[in-house]
């Protein structure tokens, strides 16, 4: 059983599901959706099995699979998983079935004219393809293999954004959707091309220093990581700094980090709510994961050198995203800007390089995925009923759809990191971990807590409270299919807010292994002391 290729099964299942879906007869749209859901649930089951068999605190990378791929280049099909990758795998595998349920009729909300016969099939198949390439990105231990799938995920996401947006007869809005999809693709392709140059450069460095098994170059993450942290990479610091910046740039576009974020709001409002959540809660996590896995482990000295710059950009993004969220009149765009602020917190925790900061950042990736999915999907359910994203068109929704309004309120409170809900724990850890090394950055980032309360509570007041505005009288509450999506997300927010230990048990050992590998230790706590304490005296 130990030799079974669990990780290969994990990422291949959704891909096979996509192929099977496209083989379903064109008229059997419900069957196509059902088949996609079955394969997504099967991938979740495999993820749960891997989690149950994973041993926290044991070997760093477990379930390792290694086969030859391109031996001439030192590239192999090498997979493995640590605690950080494991929680992101579980997040991805758990969200996709919910997103398939949430977007059950999304292709019908798209432009009705010239609708392809297999539109429903294509929509769910693309969703499964995205899941597949994201999963292999999380478990890849070969740098070239990671890069291939890091870029490959752009193709299905491009079609999901550009081809399956909300239904509209407005030609200008359809053109805007196309522009948003192209903008998403160009930004991320450019970041990927920069990263490709860095990947090639890293291979040249390993070939010159004969890091590979055959005395040549290698793309094996573990071999390069060991060489980088033992000083065997003989490249000049300037070269390693340039390679680090190449990787960082691509991940900063994907995450996204201010000022490389401008593609996100347009893409989020142009896609269906389920596709937007897939992008923000799943695909974009590959960027922050890449910072932890590749930037820090492969370039520890460069990461330390550029940490103050990255932290400055992260803090700007935290405040900037919150401020712009306050000024939005479009509910979906508002939620998209909150994600820019949240990604700032994640990146802040990563580059604080403390155990609390990186543990909080990893937990934040999970919690952000859950809270953003809940808030965005509930808002999407409401928009599909009312037919508009303009906040001012709502009012009094809690009187006609109390369950929907209540779920929206809980999801909103989670987004502002209310104690007792999941994001609070991760945000607290990030701020504590950052404060021990970068006090000014932590203090400024704390301002976003006040801003978050402002934009969420004001949003709820405008949309859900007060008298029922004209046009909202016929809004109906959540239906069983929507409840099947919302209830697990709300339950997860409450459970992880009260008891995050099951997730932290996977994250903590992996974070400590990462910090040990790059030679970082937590700063010793310091605080002003009383004169009596310094002198060893005092009254008893």
- Decide: helix, strand or coil at residue 153: coil
**60 torsion bin: left (phi>0), alpha (psi -120 to 50), beta (else):** alpha
Structural domain boundaries, residue 346: 299-522
For residue 113, what pLDDT is reported?
Answer: 42
Distance (Å, whole) CA 244 – CA 303: 7
Which residues face 407 on adjacent strands?
Answer: none
- Does 56 reside within a domain? no
**What does the H/E/C string look like for 114-173?**
CCCCCHHHHHHHHHHHHHHHHHHHHHECEHHHHHHHHHHCHHHHHHHHHHCCCCCCCHHH
Low-confidence ranges of the chain (pLDDT < 50): 1, 109-116, 169, 532-533, 535-540
C-alpha to C-alpha distances, 324 to 316, 342, 534, nearest whole angstrom: 12, 13, 48
Residues 284 and 157 sit within 8 Å (Cβ to Cβ): no
C-alpha to C-alpha distances, 490 to 67, 99, 284, 338, 410, nearest whole angstrom: 41, 15, 22, 18, 7
> What phi, psi does 81 have (nearest 5°)?
-140, 140
- Does 58 reside within a domain? no
Distance (Å, whole) CA 494 – CA 274: 22
Which residues face 79 on adjacent strands?
Answer: 65, 140
For residue 517, what pLDDT is reported?
Answer: 84
> What phi, psi does 78 have (nearest 5°)?
-120, 120
Q: What is the dihedral of CA 160, 407, 256, 11, to 10 degrees?
A: -50
Which residues face 76 on adjacent strands?
Answer: 68
- Does 359 reside within a domain? yes
- Does 423 reside within a domain? yes
ω before 259 within 30° of 0 (cis)?
yes
- Does 201 reside within a domain? no
pTM (predicted TM-score): 0.90
Distance (Å, whole) CA 508 – CA 487: 28
- Does 70 reside within a domain? no
For residue 537, what pLDDT is reported?
Answer: 46
| Number of residues that this document lists for the chain | 540
Structure tokens at 341: 């602020």
pLDDT tens digits, one per residue of 440-481? 999 998 888 888 888 888 888 888 888 888 878 888 888 999
> What phi, psi does 472 have (nearest 5°)?
-100, 0
Picking from 170, 191, 155, 75, the residue whose alpha carbon sits closest to that of residue 387 is: 170
Domain count, the chain: 1
- Does 136 reside within a domain? no
- Does 178 reside within a domain? no
């Amino acid at each position: 059983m130990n030799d079974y290729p669990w990780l290969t099964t994990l990422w291949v299942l959704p891909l096979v599901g996509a192929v099977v879906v496209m083989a379903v007869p064109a008229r059997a749209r419900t069957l196509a959706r059902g088949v996609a859901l079955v394969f997504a649930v099967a991938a979740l089951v495999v993820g749960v099995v891997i989690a149950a068999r994973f041993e926290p605190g044991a070997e760093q990378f477990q379930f390792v699979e290694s086969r030859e791929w391109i031996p001439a280049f030192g590239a192999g099909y090498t997979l493995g998983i640590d605690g950080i990758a494991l929680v992101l795998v579980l997040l991805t595998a758990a969200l996709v079935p919910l997103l398939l349920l949430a977007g059950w009729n999304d292709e019908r909300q798209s432009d009705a004219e010239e609708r392809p016969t297999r539109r429903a099939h294509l929509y769910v198949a693309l969703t499964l393809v995205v899941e597949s390439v994201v999963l292999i990105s999380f478990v890849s231990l070969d740098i070239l293999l990671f890069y291939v799938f890091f870029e490959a995920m752009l193709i299905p996401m491009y079609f999901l954004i550009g081809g399956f947006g909300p239904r509209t007869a407005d030609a200008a809005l359809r053109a805007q959707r196309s522009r948003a999809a192209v903008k998403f693709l160009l930004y991320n392709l450019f970041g990927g091309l920069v990263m490709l140059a860095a990947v090639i450069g890293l291979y040249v460095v390993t070939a010159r220093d004969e890091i590979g098994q055959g005395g040549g170059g290698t793309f094996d993450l573990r071999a390069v990581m060991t060489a980088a942290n033992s000083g065997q990479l003989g490249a000049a610091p300037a070269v390693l700094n340039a390679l680090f910046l190449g990787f960082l740039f691509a991940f900063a576009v994907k995450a996204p980090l201010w000022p490389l974020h401008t593609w996100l709001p347009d893409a989020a409002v142009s896609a269906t709510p389920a596709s937007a959540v897939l992008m923000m809660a799943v695909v974009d996590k590959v960027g922050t994961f890449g910072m932890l896995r590749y930037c820090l482990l492969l370039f520890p000295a460069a990461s330390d050198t550029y940490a103050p710059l990255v932290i400055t950009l992260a803090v700007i993004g935290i405040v900037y995203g919150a401020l712009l969220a306050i000024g939005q009149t479009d509910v979906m765009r508002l939620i998209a800007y909150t994600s820019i602020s949240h990604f700032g917190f994640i990146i802040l925790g990563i580059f604080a390089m403390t155990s609390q900061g990186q543990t909080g950042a990893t937990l934040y990736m999970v919690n952000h995925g859950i809270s953003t999915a809940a808030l965005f999907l509930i808002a999407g359910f409401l928009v599909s009923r009312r037919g508009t994203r303009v906040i001012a068109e709502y009012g009094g929704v809690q009187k006609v759809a109390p369950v929907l309004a209540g779920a929206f309120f809980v999801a909103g409170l989670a987004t502002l990191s209310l104690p007792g809900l999941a994001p609070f724990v991760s945000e607290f850890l990030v701020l504590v971990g950052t404060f021990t090394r970068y006090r000014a950055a932590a203090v400024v980032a704390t301002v976003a807590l006040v801003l978050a309360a402002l934009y969420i509570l004001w949003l709820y007041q405008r949309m859900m409270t007060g008298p029922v505005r004209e046009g909202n009288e016929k809004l109906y509450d959540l239906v069983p299919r929507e409840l099947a999506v919302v209830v697990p997300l709300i339950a997860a927010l409450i459970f992880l807010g009260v008891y995050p230990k099951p997730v932290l048990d996977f994250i903590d050992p992996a974070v400590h292994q990462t910090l040990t590998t790059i030679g970082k230790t937590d700063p010793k706590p310091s605080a002003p002391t009383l004169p009596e304490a310094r002198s060893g005296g005092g009254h008893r």
